[in-house]
Homo-oligomer: A and B are copies of this chain.
């Protein structure tokens, strides 16, 4: 193919596809339209500009541009409960239908009662039993189909909108801005890897192979026709929380991130590990301080802590001491959701 033909063909291609794959072109920060000017926005822009600038001493070769994002509370709403836990609770009737022995057994009985207050009080051990019963024991394709169907219809009680509408618009802009500048974006979530992979591409533009999460083992076997399939097993391989985040990053990525985004103590080790790599690194902590537009929680706000998204004073102090960027939802974000 001659260069002339090549250029002609390229000109006919959709522009965004080209821009996205052409890391040599520096991308401006106009993507960050939902951000107010301030140190958080500026910190992100400065990091991206210097890492992508080959004349900068902070330049990072494209192949090392790995950025990891916590999901719950960092990319989308985690209150009043992790979305995946709601999925599991919603699946209980279907599981009990195939296993009637569970009907009168706790914690399934409480879940079936629909008593929200009692459900909210279930201890962690009971929640884990529900997770195992609803997330394992089926072929991976069956799980995937069920989770997809749910995520396309289930709604958040406060906004009466799909959970996938409750992603933070400013963070979607950061994801795209990083990708425009040659970063590979990953989700590193305490949530189930298989669950998040069912919607990561269309919601975040992140393909399934770039989702690291809590993972159970699978077991290879054959159906009656000799066709092979994988079954989700109740065997925890990776608890992708706390120390499990850098461990999961090493297992499934094998490179230390250049940028990491989180919002709770569950992300602390991922942020520390990123910072310990030396050279150009960006660590970002999202502070939920906007009770009106979203939620406010964590003692850093002088507010009572909650079951989910623990944001402690110690974490806040570590962020300040180690030069992490702290985002205030209230002050740094012009809008929170795309639908606003």
Interface residues of A (CB under 8 A from B): 1, 3, 6-7, 9-11, 13, 15, 17-19, 21-22, 24-25, 63, 66, 140, 184, 193-194, 197, 201, 207-209, 211, 215, 217-220, 227-230, 237-238, 243, 246-247, 250-255, 269, 272-273, 276
Report how far A302 CA is from B251 CA in the complex, Å.
40
Q: List 20 A-B contacts (CB under 8 A).
A: A6-B15, A6-B18, A9-B24, A9-B25, A10-B18, A13-B24, A66-B209, A193-B251, A208-B255, A215-B251, A218-B247, A219-B243, A220-B243, A220-B269, A220-B273, A227-B276, A228-B276, A230-B246, A230-B273, A252-B252
Are A7 and B6 closer than 8 Å at their CB atoms? Answer: no
What residues of chain B lie closer than 8 Å to A7, measured between beta carbons? 7, 10-11
What residues of chain B lie closer than 8 Å to A252, measured between beta carbons? 209, 251-252
What residues of chain B lie closer than 8 Å to A230, measured between beta carbons? 246-247, 250, 273
Report how far A229 CA is from B250 CA in the complex, Å.
11
Report how far A197 CA is from B251 CA in the complex, Å.
11
Partner of A250 from B9, B22, B218 at Cβ < 8 Å: B218
Are A208 and B254 closer than 8 Å at their CB atoms? Answer: yes
Report how far A170 CA is from B66 CA in the complex, Å.
31
Residue ID in chain B nearest A278 by CB atoms: B227
Report how far A207 CA is from B3 CA in the complex, Å.
28
What residues of chain B lie closer than 8 Å to A140, measured between beta carbons? 250
Are B247 and A217 closer than 8 Å at their CB atoms? Answer: yes
Residue ID in chain B nearest A253 by CB atoms: B209
* A-B pairs, 10 with minimum CB distance: A220-B243, A208-B254, A21-B21, A209-B253, A197-B254, A228-B272, A7-B11, A218-B247, A252-B252, A228-B276
Partner of A207 from B63, B197, B250 at Cβ < 8 Å: B63
What residues of chain B lie closer than 8 Å to A269, measured between beta carbons? 220, 228
